[in-house]
Chains A and B, each alone.
Chain A
Amino acid sequence: MNAARIESDSIYDVFYKYGLFVTFAALAVLFSLLNHNFFSGANAINLLQQTASTGIAAAGLVFVMVAGGIDISMGSTIFFSSVIVTTLTNGGVGIAGAIGAALLCGIAVGCLNGFLVSILRIVPLIVTLATLYIVRGVALALTGVQSLSFFNKVGDAVAYTRIGGAIPIVVLILVLTLCIAQFVLSRTLFGRQLYAIGNNANGARITGIKVRRNTFLAYVISGGMAGLAGMVSGAQVGVITPTFADGQEFIIITSAILGGVSLFGGKGKAFPGAFLGVLIVMCIENGLVMAGADKYLYTIVRGLVIFVAVMIDCMRNKGELR
């Protein structure tokens, strides 16, 4: 009886392991049938460029979610960071300064989230909901609720530089971020301890893991990555409107969940997991554009994707004690 159970579990495992790849492949085939340009090298690079910002942010979010938390303030952090970076670079700050500023903005928000969640022990959803509004408010105050344009040397350098004339620099940043994130998650003590905290925080405490410190760091990382994502997407879009990155947190969260990062904590990967999730979501959006879909379809499809992602996550966690 026991053997049978383990066997049937592993069938599920196989499905969950490769289901993601299959879904992605199926989507790619579907959209290439709808539009012949979809399967071109140019569109592949294009797709990667589009995923850069969301992918970077999702890599950061994995740290928080693996530890059993959630960060819905990422969209606002992205906006905040892009506003600061734009203002600074328009004032003549160079690329290194821009990257530093972007990271610092995010880390500041992350510290606030981390402090409230791990030290004051307030529910993560509520903490980051509050920072979502506060951070956007602060950034709006800085802009005077006006659009900013990010058309300067740094913006162009980030958005258009291609290494060897082929690989855009944002894609490189994305790949590096994903690799480092996944390495830290799977191959360091800190990473493993996050998985332990997400699985059983109390048990982790008894085992001698510094739960508060690690949780705090997870939020700092997620904030920092959102900051970096803000610089990337700001440079790509060129104009920072007051609604810039509004609601992007849900695309990031949906992608992560779709990519197998559990809402219940303790499970998930930045790469390939969350990144594949981002690709799938972007593919759907990209495909809708190419298929010339109506505007309202976007939000409906987004809603459906969130629903499917969470449903799969709940099915995966069915019956498991934690």
Chain B
Amino acid sequence: MNEPVLELKRISKSFSGVEVLKDISVALRGEGSILGLVGENGAGKSTMMNILGGVLQRDRGEILLGGAPYNPRSAMDADEAGIAFIHQELNLFSNMTIAENLFLSDAPGSKWGVLSYRAMNAAARRAMQYVGIDISPSTLVDTLPMGMRQMVEIAKALSRKARIIVFDEPTTSLCTEEKEQLFTIIRDFSAKGISMIYISHALDDVLALCGEVAVLRDGSIIGQLPAEKATKADIVSMMVGRKLDQLFPYVPKHPGEVLLRVDSLCGQKAFRDISFSLRAGEIVGLFGLMGAGRSELANAIYGIDRIESGRIFLLGESVRNPAPEWWIGKGVAYITENRREEGLLMPKTVKENLVLANLRALGGNLGAIDAPREEKDSAAIIDRLSIKTFDKSRQSAQSLSGGNQQKVVIGKWLLTNPRVFLADEPTRGVDVGAKFEIYSHLNALAEDGSAILFISSEMEELIGVCDRILVMSNGSLAGELDRERFDQKELLNLAISRCY
């Protein structure tokens, strides 16, 4: 066997006494190999990658790059060593062109710090063609869709002469087509001898793409095994450390009265003529491809975006000019798709975030916050959702793992005792274990008589937990499937039925 391109040997790292990586050893074998790295949130994947990228320094162990010791002290060292990172949140500057983004730190053909746009644009065009995209290099990044932006980031890595590319959850914001495009490029790179580490929660993708899969749990490598020998179930049980009999808990329910009804709702642009109803005690899925108008629909119902025409009924009564504050008062909660920007106050504490939606109820005399009750309420929710926090009044939301952040968002709404839940991608960027917990909480809510609209682009989870699924395609409702008719192919057919 060839010498490994990259080898991590017995790496350990502690933060203030807590060991987050314990004797990690992994290897990227051979040029052009792809190593999948999976593990629950908080398992240590990002710490490991930060050590590789020079952002953090390891406590013990060694890293070999092509057989030679590699000790990055900064992001620049990693860059020079030919290791590039494609982060989940892209590092592009939306106010600049593709060419300017590609060559921000050193530009081809520049002299004395003066740029040659001709040379830059030519090089940028070549770099983009290399990833299979023929586009004007003077296009503003702002105007590109997410998938295209990611290609720019990849082209940037290549123009930096990267030999190893680390992808961190590259598919979370891509639509199916963009995903396929990305995979084609990844396979192409592999054939050209560029090695890759592919981090993702999407296990099917990992198994399809990677030669080997390494599983990380609680800071230790549980195993590194060839992908063709691994099944999804094996990997999941390695990740969570116990056997998960089923990934999705489904509980049969008994739908009651209609809580929320939407009648011929039209948005300004994104959707038109949408009618459906939510009954007490049921979980209704809303599926669609990216851009189908799902989030826009939820935004409009909740009064964040304007409604062109159509009506909304809550418990049979027509709702006029709804606003989020009004809905909260009526027991309707909305978990938005973007927890970083809309769901949480990232620098604030867990406690402050938890009571945020219910502040009005906490206002005692003269509007002063009822501190003991704040304490009690937040503690109860932390307990109920088993949110892992070392100190709810001192830990900030941003230092929680993704799964726990999402639980805080859900907990925040639970405190308002909602009867209707609009949940947009509640499990995005959340690991398998936390997903299971979130599904269970949604089930519990439904059993207590709440109605839940579960918006997701993951078919499997909708099929797994919903009672029926609505499918949107290109802004309109393409169909509805009952639980006995759930079928991935059928869902996808409906989802693309209105695309031109």
Question: Given known contacts A189-B113, A207-B104, is B142 in contact with A320 (CB within 8 Å)?
Answer: yes
**What total of chain A residues lie within 8 Å of the partner, measured CB to CB?**
27
List chain B residues, Cβ under 8 A from A195: 93, 95-96, 100
Chain A 184-217 against B: per-residue CB contact (8 Å), 1 yes, 0 no? 0001111011011011100110111100000000
Segment 308-322 of A: residues with Cβ below 8 Å from B: 320-322
Question: Given known contacts A4-B269, A9-B143, A195-B96, is B114 in contact with A207 (CB within 8 Å)?
Answer: no
Q: Is the CB of B115 within 8 A of A208?
A: no
Shortest A203–chain B CB gap in Å is 4
Question: Given known contacts A189-B113, A189-B115, A208-B79, is B104 in contact with A266 (CB within 8 Å)?
Answer: no
**What total of chain B residues lie within 8 Å of the partner, measured CB to CB?**
28
Q: Is the CB of B96 within 8 A of A196?
A: yes
List chain A residues, Cβ under 8 A from B96: 192, 195-196, 199
Shortest A139–chain B CB gap in Å is 34
Q: Is the CB of A193 within 8 A of B475?
A: no
Q: Closest A-chain residue to B116, C-beta based? A: A187
Q: Closest A-chain residue to B96, C-beta based? A: A195
Chain B 124-155 against A: per-residue CB contact (8 Å), 1 yes, 0 no? 00000000000000000011010000000000
Shortest A4–chain B CB gap in Å is 7
Bound-state CA distance A267–B142 (Å) is 12
Q: Is the CB of B115 within 8 A of A1?
A: no
Looking at B76, B79, B107, B113, the one whose CB has the most chain A CB atoms below 10 A away is B113
Q: Is the CB of B115 within 8 A of A196?
A: no
Looking at B93, B143, B270, B475, the one whose CB has the most chain A CB atoms below 10 A away is B93
Cross-chain contact of A203 among B91, B142, B143, B291 (Cβ < 8 A): B91
Question: Given known contacts A192-B115, A207-B105, is B291 in contact with A322 (CB within 8 Å)?
Answer: no
Q: Closest A-chain residue to B74, C-beta based? A: A208
Looking at A4, A193, A196, the one whose CB has the most chain B CB atoms below 10 A away is A196
Q: Is the CB of A187 within 8 A of B114?
A: yes
Bound-state CA distance A101–B113 (Å) is 27
Q: Is B481 an interface residue (CB 8 A)?
A: no
Q: Is B474 an interface residue (CB 8 A)?
A: yes
Segment 49-105 of B: residues with Cβ below 8 Å from A: 75-76, 79, 91-96, 100, 104-105
Q: Is A2 an interface residue (CB 8 A)?
A: yes
Bound-state CA distance A195–B92 (Å) is 12
Q: Is the CB of A187 within 8 A of B291?
A: no
Shortest B288–chain A CB gap in Å is 13
Q: Is A6 an interface residue (CB 8 A)?
A: yes
Q: Closest A-chain residue to B112, C-beta based? A: A188
Chain A 284-322 against B: per-residue CB contact (8 Å), 1 yes, 0 no? 000000000000000000000000000000000000111
Cross-chain contact of A192 among B91, B92, B100, B143 (Cβ < 8 A): B100
Question: Given known contacts A188-B114, A207-B105, A208-B76, is B270 in contact with A1 (CB within 8 Å)?
Answer: yes
List chain B residues, Cβ under 8 A from A266: 93, 95
Question: Given known contacts A189-B113, A203-B92, A207-B91, is B105 in contact with A6 (CB within 8 Å)?
Answer: no
Q: Is the CB of A188 within 8 A of B104?
A: no
Q: Is B110 an interface residue (CB 8 A)?
A: yes
> Nearest 8 pairs between A and B by C-beta?
A266-B95, A199-B93, A203-B91, A199-B95, A196-B93, A208-B105, A188-B113, A189-B113
For this complex, 23 residue pairs linking A to B, each with C-beta atoms less than 8 Å apart, are A1-B291, A1-B474, A1-B475, A4-B269, A6-B143, A187-B114, A187-B117, A189-B110, A192-B96, A192-B104, A193-B104, A196-B93, A196-B104, A199-B95, A199-B96, A200-B91, A203-B91, A204-B93, A207-B104, A208-B75, A208-B76, A320-B94, A321-B94
Q: Which B positions have Cβ atoms within 8 angstroms of A?
A: 75-76, 79, 91-96, 100, 104-107, 110, 113-115, 117, 142-143, 145, 269-270, 291, 341, 474-475
Known: A188-B114, A267-B95. 14 other contacts (CB 8 A): A1-B270, A2-B291, A6-B143, A188-B115, A199-B95, A200-B93, A203-B92, A204-B104, A206-B75, A207-B91, A208-B79, A209-B105, A266-B95, A321-B94
